[in-house]
Amino acid sequence: MSTTPTPAPTPGTMLDVDGVVVEYAAKSRRGQPFRALHGVSLDIRPGETVGLVGESGSGKTTLGRAVLGLAPVAEGEIRYAGRVISRLSARERRALSAEIQVVFQDPYTSLNPAMTVGDILTEPLLVSGTSRAAAEERVRGLLGQVRLPADAAHRLPREFSGGQRQRVAIARALCRDPRLIVCDEPVSALDLSTQARVLELFVEIQERTGVAYLFITHDLSVVRCVSHRVAVMCGGRIVETGEATAVTSAPRDPYTRRLMLAAPVPDPARQRERREQRRNLKSVGAE
Ligand SMILES: Nc1ncnc2c1ncn2[C@@H]1O[C@H](COP(=O)(O)OP(=O)(O)OP(=O)(O)O)[C@@H](O)[C@H]1O
């Protein structure tokens, strides 16, 4: 994939995750709560893409959910534009939803199957007080931005491919001009060529609007092509952060190195090289 992230983001922190602990309630009454995040810290600047990578179960989605106010923050805090947002009431959270949005992994379940694309996109605008005429005008603009035809507004989600549905989900996230979008594995349900086109769309949108992304993925080739910086998670902790090219080409942490070496590579010569590197890592005790 050849997509490259936009030029340097604006300096200054927009989102500040500071020592965040998330615990999920125990399933049984006598069981201990499960600590999914152990004091995680991370910042995102305006217009920046921070890629969040790590193995399954490392806590990536939990961190995204904490930013969205969907996972309980037991310790630490999350600040957005200088304001603590980790302990907001439901009403305050709704008010913030214009600025912080989400695109989920599965475009087959994240869109209401009974609503037309036009209704899916106008609903958040009407709820926030936009007039119907202005909302419909905005929807025409959004469909153009995500490269869907204007008549898409009259159709149901089931009439679209996975990639097109993900474009609808992106348009919905953009409705109210957010400053930050949490993208939770937004291309993993798509085939490779569709992935590349949807990733290009994310980058184009960022160039045009200056939106920032927290881009959650287990796929290192994806993270390399869209991120300015990368944070690597392991066991509920961030074990390495840095510029995307530095982390992906010369990782410092042994876990990040293992993650890079475990990533699939199509070229047989590179596969042999990787096997050799893995053997070397084992022999120096990093595995
Ligand atoms: N609602 C929940 N209740 C209890 N435990 C949970 C809950 N959600 C997640 N967990 C646990 O928290 C840990 C982190 O899960 P999380 O989904 O954040 O990881 P992840 O890195 O996003 O994984 P994946 O890449 O598979 O989505 C896992 O051990 C998971 O089982």
Alpha-carbon distance of 232 to 29, in angstroms, equals: 33
Determine the pLDDT at residue 287: 37
How large is the ipTM?
0.97
- Counting ligand 1 atoms within 8 A of each CB, the residue from 62, 68, 219 with the most, and so the one to mutate, is 62
Q: What is the residue with the minimal CA distance to atom 16 of ligand 1?
A: 59
CB-ligand 1 contact for 105 (6 Å cutoff) = no
Q: What residues does CATH 3.40.50.300 cover in the chain?
A: 1-99+179-242
Nearest-CA residue for ligand 1 atom 1 is 24
How far apart CA 284 and CA 287 sit, in angstroms, is: 8
Q: What is the pLDDT of residue 30?
A: 73
> Is the CB–ligand 1 distance for residue 58 below 6 Å?
yes
Predicted local distance difference test score (pLDDT) of residue 286: 42
One digit per residue, pLDDT tens: the chain, 287 residues?
A: 656 666 667 678 999 999 999 999 876 667 888 999 999 999 999 999 999 999 999 999 999 999 999 999 999 999 999 999 998 998 899 889 899 999 998 877 889 999 999 999 999 999 989 999 999 999 999 999 999 999 999 999 999 999 999 999 999 999 999 999 999 999 988 888 899 999 999 999 999 999 999 999 988 888 888 999 999 999 999 999 999 989 988 888 888 888 888 776 555 555 565 556 556 655 554 43
Give the pair of three-digit tokens for residue 2: 């050849």
**228/213 Cα distance (integer angstroms):** 10
108 lines ligand 1 (CB under 6 A): no
Gap between the Cα atoms of 146 and 181, Å rounded:
15
Identify the pLDDT of residue 274.
Answer: 53
Q: What is the pTM of this model?
A: 0.88
Write out the two tokens for 70.
């969907």
Contact 224, 2 (CB under 8 A): no
Q: Is the CB of 70 under 6 A from ligand 1?
A: no
Sorted by sequence, the CB contacts under 8 Å of residue 212 that are 6+ apart come out as 9, 14, 15, 44, 45, 46, 47, 48, 49, 50, 179, 180, 181, 206
When the candidates are 3.30.200.20, 3.40.50.300, 3.30.70.141, 3.40.50.720, the CATH number that belongs to 1-99+179-242 is 3.40.50.300
| Nearest protein Cα to ligand 1, atom 9 | 62
Closest CA relative to residue 181, chosen from 81, 103, 106, 69? 103
